[in-house]
Amino acid sequence: MSALYAATLTTFKSQGWHYREVPGMEVIESDFEAHHTKVPLHVQVYGTAHIASVVATASMKVPPSHRLQVAELLMRTNKELNLGNFELDWDSGEVMFRISNIFPPHRYDERILASLVHSTIAEMDRVTPFLGEICNTPKGELLLLRVRDLMKREELLPPVPAEVS
């Protein structure tokens, strides 16, 4: 077990997060209840490279007829992100958010690991209602859908968390 994977396990334990280890791999899987959806999470550690990669998967698959509009949504969303990115597996219709961090050797900050998890969940939760709006648009009305205008709908965003003092 790499030191980074041990730090990742400690982070999950200290946060009180339920998780499953994938046998034979430095991988943790977990499910988080967010505002809009349940977020399946996959954390993979590359110990010798000191990299942790956190991936969330959307709860819905995008039908082939709606992939162009979802690709536009994800492209426009990625343009505004500082860390991480959304991906669309064109063949399966699966939407993912991925964020990774390269750690200095033997300096695996649990706050950074927890932040990667929190950010991944928040980003997937934030995009989920927009994905739903697109996927629920009847195929015949897709040409009328303006993704740029859809993204301006603030009522679809999760509430801003209250600051902890």
Q: What is the pLDDT of residues 114-142, one digit of tens each?
A: 999 999 999 999 999 999 989 999 988 88
3-156 has which CATH code? Answer: 3.30.1460.10
Confidence (pLDDT) at 164: 55
**Residue spans of beta strands (DSSP E) within 16-154:** 20-21, 27-33, 38-46, 51-57, 85-89, 94-102
Residues in the chain: 165
pLDDT at 9 over 80: yes
Average confidence (pLDDT) over 8-37: 93
Look at residue 39 in the predicted model and tell me its pLDDT. 94
pLDDT at 162 over 80: no
Hey, is 100 helix, strand or coil? Answer: strand
- 41 vs 127: CA distance, rounded Å: 15
Residue 87 near residue 66, CB atoms below 8 Å = no
Round the average pLDDT of the chain to a whole number and report it: 90
* Nearest Cα residue to 28 out of 38, 20, 16: 20
User: Across the strands, what pairs with 140?
Assistant: none
What pTM, to 2 d.p., does this model score? Answer: 0.86
| Structural domain spans, the chain | 3-156
Exposed, middle or buried, 163 (CB in 10 Å: 0-12/13-18/19+)? exposed
Burial class (CB in 10 A: 0-12, 13-18, 19+), 87: middle
pLDDT in tens, 74-117: 999 999 999 999 999 999 999 999 999 999 988 888 899 999 99
Question: Cβ of 104: how many Cβ atoms within 10 Å?
Answer: 8
